[in-house]
Each structure stands twice: as C-alpha cells, then as structure tokens.
C-alpha cells in the first residue's frame, strides 16, 4: 500500500525524499484555493512563480498577472489572491501568472517529486481520487507561513489522510498528527481556526468571506497539475 506523509513547511523539504512520489502543494488560505477556483472558472494556464519581477514580466506576453505579499495585492498587478477575483467572467480563457508569499514558493520547491499537484479543501475529493488512482506515495507539502507551521494547511493534510484511509498507510507521525487534528476540527473548521495566526491576519484585512469560501470541501472536481512551467487541469 502506498503511504501519505506530511511536510509541515517548505523549509523542512530537504528532510524529505520526493523522488518517485506525488507532492501535493497546499496553501488553503488562500493561494491554492484561488488557483483551483481560477482553473474552475476558465483560466487555462497558471504560471506559479516565486518573484514579483518574474511574475510582472509575463504581462508583456498578454498574461493576467497576480501578486500577493503579506495578504495584500502587490502594486502594479492586475489581481491579488482572493478566490473571488477568479470567479469574474473577465478572467475566462486567460493565461495567469501568479506569485504569493508562500503558496507559489511551496509549489516550486516541490519540483523534485515525480508529479506536483495543487490541493485545497475546495478540490479535496478530486485530489483524493487522483492519488488513489495513481497508487503512489504522496507527500503533502504545507506552504505554512514564511517557513513556519500553520494550522490550516495541516488540517487539509488531515482531511486528505481521512479520505485515503484504507487505501494508503497513515503511519508517519506527521500524518497521524494532521489526521487527529482534523478529527478535532472538522465539525467547525472556521471556529477551530478562529485564533490561528493567518485567520487573524486575514480578518485584520477584512476578508472573512475569503476564509469561509476557502474552507468549503468539494466545491470543484478538478486537480491542477504542474506541467513544465504551468499548472493545468489534470486529465481524468
Ligand atoms: O502566502 C500565500 O501564498 C498566500 O496565500 C497568503 S494570503 O492568504 O494571500 O495572505
């Protein structure tokens, strides 16, 4: 049986061997939730990049460019990191380049894996089905916050472990911790996260609707997969 492991921060990735495995990069609040939403609403390609200038350079090629730093849209970019920005009719059919404080970093740092997927509560079931079918070891790479642990990405890892129970071994300590945390939190994810640092940070920016949106499970039936420089919807 394949296993599911959890890396609580991209800074811990040097301790993990991703070769031969599927990495699932997750930044529930809000980068990977926005990416899943963008692809669901007709963005065709997303280039997840690490630096602001690298992202802005895509504008010359006709891309929409999106950037967030410390929760706020960066100056000079078309869009920020709210999932609601990506539900507008005007984004349909466009190419997007995106950089965020932690999420796009986690995606790029996961490249040593055989495949890099993007996960969020919004596409939890689709990710679970995809990795069950692939039948390979999985590492959930939590984006965290500037190298630190966070609760929301860990809860996603626990939720995925629950969906994979019986199909994957859950015997890594990090996976067990995430699994049990999710059991405690799942009846009221928002309530559980109310004191967490990033929810408090986002509440100071008055974006509670974004948080509520991102904590919904199984809204979209798609899995973004990194192919070359782009995240595309994986073929079923
Ligand atoms: O760190 C990130 O990648 C972002 O998702 C953070 S925020 O939710 O936009 O503040």
CA dihedral 185, 68, 56, 103 (to 10 degrees): -20
Question: Is residue 236 situated within a structural domain?
Answer: no
Q: Among 88, 226, 70, 220, which Cα is nearest to 78's?
A: 88
pLDDT at residue 206 in the model: 85
Measured in angstroms, how far is the CA atom of residue 169 from the centroid of ligand 1?
30
Question: Is residue 65 situated within a structural domain?
Answer: yes
> Measured from the CA of 33, which atom of ligand 1 is nearest?
5
Whether ligand 1 lies within 6 angstroms of the CB of 144 is answered as no
Question: Is residue 103 situated within a structural domain?
Answer: yes
**Mean residue pLDDT across the chain:** 97
Q: What average pLDDT does this structure show over 69-95?
A: 96
Enclosing domain of residue 84: 4-230
Q: What tens digit of pLDDT does each residue of 45-64 get?
A: 999 999 999 999 999 999 99
User: At 84, which CATH number?
Assistant: 3.90.1560.10
Question: Is residue 203 situated within a structural domain?
Answer: yes
Tokens standing for residue 147: 């190298």
Strands (E), the chain: 4-7, 22-26, 45-48, 64-69, 72-73, 95-99, 115-119, 138-142, 224-227, 230-233
Q: Among 103, 95, 107, 97, which Cα is nearest to 42's?
A: 95
Question: Is residue 160 situated within a structural domain?
Answer: yes
Of 37-41, 90-94, 132-136, 199-203, which range is least confident?
A: 199-203
Domain count, the chain: 1
Helices H / strands E in the chain, number of each: 9, 10
Q: Among 68, 67, 64, 118, which Cα is nearest to 95's?
A: 64
Q: What tens digit of pLDDT does each residue of 192-204 get?
A: 999 999 999 998 9
Q: Among 156, 164, 121, 132, which Cα is nearest to 35's?
A: 121
Does position 236 have pLDDT exceeding 90, yes or no?
A: no
Residue nearest to atom 9 of ligand 1 (CA): 71
Q: What average pLDDT does this structure show over 153-182?
A: 98
Question: Is residue 26 situated within a structural domain?
Answer: yes
Q: What tens digit of pLDDT does each residue of 143-156 get?
A: 999 999 999 999 99
Whether ligand 1 lies within 6 angstroms of the CB of 27 is answered as yes
Measured in angstroms, how far is the CA atom of residue 73 from the centroid of ligand 1?
10
Question: Is residue 57 situated within a structural domain?
Answer: yes
Whether ligand 1 lies within 6 angstroms of the CB of 107 is answered as no
**Using CA atoms, how far apart are residues 136 and 130, in angstroms rounded to an integer?**
10
Question: Is residue 62 situated within a structural domain?
Answer: yes
Whether ligand 1 lies within 6 angstroms of the CB of 9 is answered as no
pLDDT at residue 195 in the model: 92
Q: What average pLDDT does this structure show over 127-151?
A: 98
Does position 229 have pLDDT exceeding 90, yes or no?
A: yes
Count the neighbouring beta carbons within 10 Å of the beta carbon of residue 13: 18
């Amino acid at each position: 049986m394949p296993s599911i492991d959890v890396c609580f921060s991209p800074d811990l990735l040097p301790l993990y061997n991703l070769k031969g495995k599927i990495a699932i990069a997750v930044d529930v609040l809000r980068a990977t939730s926005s990416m899943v939403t963008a692809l669901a609403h007709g963005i065709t390609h997303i280039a997840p990049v690490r630096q602001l200038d690298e992202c802005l350079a895509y504008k010359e090629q006709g891309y929409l460019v999106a950037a967030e730093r410390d929760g706020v849209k960066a100056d000079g970019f078309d869009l920020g990191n709210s999932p609601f920005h990506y539900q507008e009719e005007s984004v349909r059919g466009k190419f997007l380049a995106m950089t965020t404080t932690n999420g796009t970093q986690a995606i790029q740092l996961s490249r040593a894996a055989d495949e890099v997927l993007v996960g969020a509560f919004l596409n939890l079931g689709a990710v679970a089905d995809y990795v069950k079918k692939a039948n390979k070891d999985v590492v959930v790479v939590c984006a965290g916050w500037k190298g630190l642990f966070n609760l929301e990405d860990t809860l996603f890892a626990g939720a995925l472990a629950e969906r994979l129970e019986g199909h994957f071994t859950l015997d890594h300590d990090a996976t067990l911790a995430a699994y049990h945390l999710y059991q405690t939190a799942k009846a009221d994810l928002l309530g559980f996260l109310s004191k967490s640092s990033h929810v408090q940070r986002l509440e100071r920016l008055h974006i509670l609707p974004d948080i509520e949106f991102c904590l919904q499970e199984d809204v979209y039936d798609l899995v973004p997969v990194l192919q070359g420089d782009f995240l595309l919807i994986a073929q079923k």
